Structure formats: structure tokens, C-alpha cells
Chain A
């Protein structure tokens, strides 16, 4: 148990790192800053791994360990605690968060070396890791909400890290405000849950929901829908996905850590954590699947048209989280978490590789100005290729294949699944391979256009290598029936999450599904090869037709969502703020002032200083007074 007692240290260490860095400001040397920043994340990782070994070796009773630190507050029956819960789900999450987090800290210590805000960067990063760990370890929804908003804050701070550029500030604010729209829905969901069920402690809440609500209950539906609102914002799913592409304004390690590997998957975690509610609300759960399917397609098409390498990866992230939502929507909770894990590896790897390219080319983001970099950056090329293959779900050899295959299979075979959802996923898989290898070919193949100025050092190379290895072997813990049928990951997850309920399917059926899922990526890669390496002219010709260019613009701008939101929300808000700057509710009072002044101006005329006028006034007044006495 002694190992479990250290659970609180896992989020506390990064928080401590943040406090030290925030208080010392830029007075520490860069080396010490990096040691504190990366060291606190590293220590946290070590404790996580030791705890994980202990947890798997001899699981605590009930497969969960809860550590209560103190009672946050106790008001009117509302008694949330500062308490952490370790179970299979949170263990998987914190392992990925601390491991990927530490690697990215290590990477950043070199990547950010020349930046004047070095200590500020590590302070924010540590605050992020601490908040993210709080989010996934929280035992009640209020503490989860604290971590939830904390990671949102860090996302804002790090997107706008280079604050002197006004655009970065805009992107940062957009991210915070859009996600906060979802967060507010989630907040209302918490009010509803507490009001009706009387607790926010997650396990207790789920039990009471099961007891008090039947399947299809309206309350359960409302609560699930409100929580889903929060998840959509945080995980950049339709219709709140618009902030993520702009969030690429932040430094590249930030995009890797926050906007690919960890924070954006918080929505997936939330739904998996509260899966009971979603099971009780089949309509909402179906909506999750549909949103996931639509999002993965929409974002895939947008990724296909981007020229900024980071925006391709951003849209790709939206699309891959779409897969996770699809899995959640069909009840394959473990498959979603599995894909979260492999995605964290390969997407972080891709971002870090893109960071090397961007740094090497003097902050160049445009893929059309890159090319042939495979000779100049060999290690980056090979690791990037592995990441790309894993993202494309290249069969057998990549982690991404096993997780995506599991999702596609569940989308077909699960009770809540449907061939349509499966088809969307399959089309998405083809699309993924297409846009991914478009990127690879544009950046690393073809003619060399520029010289790389800055070659990566060890602190950058080590994370790339480790993540590349994980992007390959990370999937071998779970294989389909035809490839050995290993179920290590899902079996472990089943201690915290219910298994997916599959309809009986003949073995040949399963095999056919697998073949189809395995064929889509190579086809996509082949098309990418055809259009972007072998005959690039085709692409130009296709894009220059009127309908082709219109479609290109439409996809490039993210399907016009920004345009619509600008018209129906942003502009009316700004318009109202502009016309009402002086507060028209003040007008009645100003009117009183004007009236007073007006009457004053009128009465001033009676002060003439002429005795005749006064005498007349006295006479008139006397007559009026007398007649009033007589007649009334």
C-alpha cells in the first residue's frame, strides 16, 4: 500500500514545479529551470510507473484505490473531497500523460532554448501536467472540473505564449472561450446531477443513476447531453471544433502535449468515466457516435487541403478524436481508451517531428516550401515516417492499426453499431492515409528547396526515438482474433469499464471486416503517392477546376464554421457592445438631469430684477390662491 500512498505526489510534483518556477521568475539559470520543469514531470512519471507496476502486480481490493486528502467543503449536503482515484482507466491515462509529458518536457528543454520566456514556458507546462493529472485522477466531478478548467487555462496561456503577436492572443482567447462554452454546459450538467442524485462523487453518482433512472430516462439524457457539451468543447468535436486549428499558434511542444496527446482527449476520458450515464441515454450515446463519425470525415477532408504542416496535424487530431467518439458512441469504451493511448504516442511523435522541421527551417510552416528533407534530417524522417504509418494505421506493424481496427470492428459488430458508422470510419481510414502521406511526400520527398539551419540534439532525438518505438509496439497489447487474439489491454480495462456488447458475428465476417480495414490505408497511401509524388500535376489540375477550387476553399476554411459563428455570435455581440458602450439604461437618469436643467433655464427667466414683473407675479399668485380657496 505504501506505493499507493504516494498517489497524491503524482499531480503534486508538477504543481510544486510550477510554484517554484512562478515564484523565482527568470532568476534561475536555464539549466536549473529545465531541471525543475522536466524533473518534476519525470519524477511524477517514475512514481506513476512504480504505482502502475504495483497496481498490476497486486491489484487493490475492488481494483481501485481512493486517496482522500481533505474535504474541500461541506455545505448543505454538498461535500466534495479533494480525493484521487486510481483504477485501470485512470492508471492508463496517467501513464500516458506523465510519460508523454516528460518526453515533451525533455524535448522542450532544447526546443525552447533560445526563448526569452524559458522559465514561464516550463511553469505553464508544469501547471498543465498537474492539472491534467488532477483531471484524470479526480474522484468527484467537481475536482475533475477543477482539472478540466486548469488544463483549459494552460492551453490558453501556452497558445498565447508568444504574446507579442496579436494573432496568438486571438487564437488563445478563441480556444478558451469556445471550450468554456462547452464547460458551461458541463457545469449545468453538474448542477443537474447533484440536484437530482445528491452527490458528485463519481462512483456513487453512477450507482445512484443506475438505481433511480431506467434506460431512456429524460434526466439521464439531459445530464449526459450536458456533459457531452463539455466533452465536445474540450475534445474539439463538432460543432465546437473550430478552436483547435487556430490553437496551432502555440509553440510546437505545446501542440504535441496539449493539443494532440492529452488535453484534447479529456472529453473522451469524461465520457468513458461517466459511461453509465451514457448507457442510460441511448439517444445521446448514439449522438456521440454520429458526431464522432461526422467529425472524423469533415476534419479529414480539411486536413487534406491544408498547407501549414501543423494545421494538417491539428485537423488530423480532430479526426482521430472523432474515432474515439465513434468508439464511445457504440459502447466500445476500452477501444476508445486504447486509441487514445496509441494516438498519444504517434501524434506527439508527429508534432515533435514537425517541430524539428519548423525549427530547422526558420519557423517555416508551409509544406509547399519544404521538400526532400529526408536526407538532411534522417532521424526525423524515419521517426516521422513511423508516426505517419501509425496514424495511417498501416496493417500489422503499427500501433495505430490495432486500435483503429478495434474501433472499426466495434462500429460494425457492437449492439449500438451500424454499417453506416463503420463505413464512415473506413472512409476516414482511407482519408487519413491520404492526407498523412501527402504531408510526408511534400515535406520529406521531392526536390530539396531549403537548407536546414539547425540540427536536432540529443534532448530532441531521444523523445523522438522512444515515441517511435512506442508507436510501433504500443499496439501489440491488443490484437484481433486472426492475429493471435491478444486482449491484454481490454482485459485490464474491463476492471474499470464494461466490455463492449457485440452481436454474434461469424468468424468469416470478422475476417472480411479486418481485410477491408487493412486495405484502406495502403490504398490511401497509394493515392497520395500518385497525386503528390508521382504526378503532382494531376492535383494542380484538379484543384484549378471551378468546382475543385471552390471545394478546396470550403475544406481549407474548415467547412465554413468560423464564418457562421462570426456572423451569428461574434458580430452581434460586438455590435451590441459597441452601441451600448455608454449604457442606455443611464438615459432615464440623464433625462432627469436634462429636465431639471431645462426647468431651471425656464425659471431663470423669471429672475429679471424688474419690480414690475414681480408685482404682476404677486398679483397673479394672489388671484390664483384666492380663487383656489373660493372654488375648492
Chain B
């Protein structure tokens, strides 16, 4: 039941916040904060719940043992829809990130939002509820429900509280996600009927649909449906163009949630659904995914540098960073997957912080144009120092969490595809260029426009300190996160292995994933040891 509460608390909190508006405009903020703090406390309880012993390799664990918490109630049995929510380490981390960034989003809009405060918080809380639902749903119908639920309040957040060009951005965002969501729906239904035809059982349950047998061509098309929906969200170049508009025009809280969380639902979808449900098609697609990922990393970084609007610049950096996530997910070995998860978390925090910084600057000097800034360090050294910190996180400085993510992604994918990993590494140079450019244009140089502004204090400093601590902690001792995610990622990898073993007659694209391991002695040794023919090399190598 704890899982349903995780969703209901922000959902109800939003409604109460909306009504409380009439009594006092400060009330919605406090109500949202309290609701999210409750959620956070629940999650901490789950975090410290004793972990579950890893099952022996090669066995897909079904049922309750693989979850930290689970809720499975039949809902519409005629159609095979059940209210199936479950949480493993991966979901726990992502929900924790959601609530953490939710709190920072509420806190960072404390003074920014003065108009329709109650309705703003209703939307904010409902987006968060939708996102939590997405991370917990184990029934594809419920998943799709939450997937759509996130969009509408997000649309309102952009369209009502956004900046100059908000309607265009909101509509663009909505159309992109809606069209791709439709493909997802079609693919879900396709999978549903194929499974029913094979087994006679109509079900939307994720675990039952895993390993559904289908023709390679069918599998490819269904995979594409799942892939495109998530690729738009991630986003993958060339379906990224909704992102700069939406991130730039959204209010600060909206940008934090967009960059920190909505993008991550795309990554999560790829991890949880696209590859495990359609492993062979996904691995055949892997080389293309690598190319797209590398293009995204470099193209996003160059375009970030090209921007003059600070918020748009930060928006483009997300495209670059999400390229690493895509690379890591399709490399599909333990190192790369852990790296992708770390990158998801750290990018959420670091980019969220950068958007909060931009929002704080805009609140003070009423512009986002970098040409109108410069020399702000002298008047606001704390803002400058914090911005420097997150710019460094963004360029992947070792000792900070983002480095761990990017390094592991590259390390893991190097084993699979040397060229992709090497070219992607060039993205680190490009990231240096844009990150230092922010500092130069905004904080260094002469203060041409004679800006005088209040520095960070109290509330803002607390938000930033919390985010800095998270990034430093993950940079120096990331193991707790790896421990939480490891079990979940192991399960995902095993579920794929089993499907592949079950159908050895079908060609696998695993060869492309081996790359360098062909000439490493260690790999040769492990291949000799490897008892199960057809298990991908990483499955043996990685553990």
C-alpha cells in the first residue's frame, strides 16, 4: 500500500493546495512542501528497508521477491488490466529523485509565482504524481495512463506561468509528446494482442508480457513504437526540438521538472520496457542508437555553446547529457547501465540547479540574454560560486557525480563499441567549452551594465547546499546508489538473457556488442568458462 500512498499524497496535496489558495496565498506552498516531505519520509523508510539477497545469476526472479514493495490488485479483469505497482532499486532511486527535485521546485518558485498560486501548485503536484506513477507502474495500461497524466499539468505549467513565447512552446511540447504517445499506445496494444494470440491470456501485466514471442519484423515495429515515444522524451536528436522551447519558456519549477524528471521517464522507459520487451530488435537497433547518441552528445553541446539565451543554453546541454544515457542504455552491460543511472540522477540534480540559478538571475535582473550580463561575480559571489560548481559538474569534473556517470557509460560502452565511446568522449571537450562560456559571459568580465543584485540567502542557499551535497556525495562515494540500482539492473539484464537463451534459433545482434572483448584474454577465458551458450558476453564478464 505504501506505493499507492506515494502517488496519492501529492495528488491530494495538489487538490488541497488549490483550495487553500482562497484562504492565504502562502498556504499552497506550505501544503505542497509538507506533502512532498511526507513522500520523502516514506521513501527513506523504503531506502533503509533491508535489501533483498541477489538471486543466483541466470534466474529471472518472478513475483514478490524482486520488489522492495509491490501492489497488485485486479482492476478490469475482463481486459486484463490490474493496478500493478512495484518498486525495485531503480524505481526507488528515480522516485527519490522525483520527490527531491519536487521539493526544490516548490522552494525555488516560492517568490517567483505570484499569480494563481493554488492552481500552479495543483499542476505541479499532479505532474509529480504522474511521474511517480510512471516509475512505479508495472501494468502497461496503468503506465500509459500515468504517461499521459504527466502531460496535461505540464502543459498548463508552461502555458500559464511561462515566459514570452509560452503558448507556442506549450503546444509544441504537447504535440510532440502526444503524437509519440500515440505510437506507444499502438505498440502497447499490438503487444497485448500478440500475447493474447500466443497464450490466450489478455493481460497488460509487464512481467507476463516479458518474453512474448513474435516474428522479428513484428518485434521490430513494436519496438520502434516503444522507442520513439521514449526517444522524444529523452530526447534523441533529431526529435529533440520541442525541448529548447519548452525548457526556455517554462517557469523555473517547470524547467526543473522537465529537465530533471520528464526526460528521465524516457530513459526509464527504454530501460524498463523497450529493451526487456524486445531485446533482439533493440540490439539490432543498437548501432543506430549509438550513432544517434554520439550525434546528440556533440550536436547538443555545440548548440548549447551557440545560444545567447542562458536558459536555452542550459536546455541544450540536456540534449548532450542525455546522449550519454542513451549510449549507456544500449551498451547494456552492468558498467554502462550503472553509469546511465548515475548520469540520470546527477544530471537531474545538476541541471535542475542550473535552471534554478537561471530563474534566480531572471528574477533579479529580468533578462536571460547573456549579452546583457557579465561581471556578476563581484555583486553576487555566492551565486557565482554555486554556478561555477554546477557548471563544473556539467562538464564532468572528477569528484562530482556527473563524472562517475559519464565515465562509467563510456567505460562500459567502450567494450561494446570503441568508435562510439571514443567519439562520445570528445563531448567532454565540447562540454568544457560551453560550461566555461556560461561562467565567462555571466559572471566574469567587466560588469558592463552595472548590475547590483542581492546575493543568495536563506532559502536559496539551503536548496543549493542540498544539491551540492548530493553531487559531491555521488562523486566521492556513489556505491549506495550502485547497490540499490544493481539488483534492479541485474534483473533487467537477466530477463533479457533468458529471452535470448529461450530462442537461440533467432539471430542475435550481440556480436556488435562485443567489440573489443574479442581480443581480450579475459574475455576469452570467460568465454571458455561461460557455460550457457548464447549468454551475452557481458552477462558472464560483468559479474
Contacts and interface: CB of A to CB of B under 8 A. Distances in A.
B444 A160 contact: yes
A256 B333 CA distance: 46
A371 B477 CA distance: 56
Given A72-B477, A191-B411, A580 B303 contact: yes
Interface stretch (B53-61, B95-103, B234-242, B346-354): B234-242
A506 interface: no
* Most chain A CB neighbours (cut-off 10 Å) among B240, B381, B385, B440: B440
Nearest to B436: A173
A74 B412 CA distance: 13
Contacts of B422: 188, 191
A606 B410 CA distance: 58
A303 to B, nearest CB: 29
B306 A187 contact: no
Given A22-B385, A76-B334, A585-B237, A194 B411 contact: yes
Contacts of A164: 375, 378, 444-447
Contacts of B407: 142, 187
Interface in A492-549: none
B421 A191 contact: yes
B215 to A, nearest CB: 31
Interface stretch (A30-38, A146-154, A309-317): A146-154
Nearest to A218: B519
Contact of A163 (B377, B408, B415): B377
A583 B244 contact: yes
Q: Interface SS of chain A: helix, strand, loop or mixed?
A: helix
B520 A195 contact: yes
Nearest to A22: B385
Contacts of B238: 585, 588
A614 interface: no
Contacts of A156: 436
A169 B303 CA distance: 21
A142 B440 CA distance: 29
Contact of A177 (B429, B445, B520): B429
Interface string A160-185: 10011110010011001100110110
B302 A581 contact: no
B261 interface: no
B432 A573 contact: no
Q: Which of A76, A580, A588 gathers most chain B CB within 10 Å?
A: A76
B306 A577 contact: yes
A77 interface: yes
Contacts of A73: 404, 478-479, 482
B522 interface: yes
A78 B411 contact: yes
Nearest to A71: B479
A180 B477 contact: no
A462 to B, nearest CB: 32
Nearest to B381: A25
B115 interface: no
A78 B408 contact: yes
B428 interface: yes
B310 to A, nearest CB: 14
Contacts of A573: 302
A580 B440 CA distance: 22
A165 B445 CA distance: 5
Interface residues of B, number: 67
Interface stretch (B28-36, B41-49, B145-153, B391-399): B391-399
Contact of A145 (B381, B398, B414, B443): B398
A146 B307 contact: no
B77 interface: no
Nearest to B421: A191
Contact of A184 (B385, B425, B542): B425
Nearest to A170: B440
A188 B444 contact: no
A172 B435 CA distance: 13
B414 A191 contact: yes
Interface in A279-299: none
Contact of A70 (B415, B426, B477): B477
Contacts of B303: 577, 580-581, 583
Contacts of B398: 142, 145-146, 148-150
A60 interface: no
Contacts of A78: 335, 408, 411
A46 interface: no
B301 to A, nearest CB: 10
A192 interface: yes
A183 B410 CA distance: 14
A163 B445 contact: yes
Q: Which of B240, B308, B398 has the most CB of A within 10 A?
A: B398
Contacts of A196: 516, 519-520
Contacts of B429: 177, 180-181, 184
Given A164-B445, A164-B446, A169-B444, A176 B432 contact: yes
A74 B399 contact: no
Interface in B427-480: 428-429, 432-433, 436-437, 440, 443-447, 476-479
Nearest to A579: B306
Contacts of B414: 188, 191-192, 195
A583 B428 contact: no
A177 B433 contact: yes
B520 A191 contact: no
A578 B302 CA distance: 10
A79 to B, nearest CB: 10
A181 B82 CA distance: 53
B415 A149 contact: no
A187 B244 contact: no
A191 B443 CA distance: 35
B425 A212 contact: no
Nearest to A578: B306
A82 B475 CA distance: 12
9 contacts: A72-B477, A75-B339, A76-B334, A150-B399, A187-B425, A188-B421, A198-B520, A577-B302, A577-B303
Given A72-B479, A74-B479, A177-B433, 5 more contacts: A78-B408, A150-B397, A165-B445, A581-B303, A583-B241
Which 10 pairs, one residue from A and one from B, show the smallest C-beta to C-beta distance? A76-B334, A577-B306, A146-B398, A191-B414, A163-B444, A76-B335, A586-B241, A76-B542, A581-B306, A585-B238
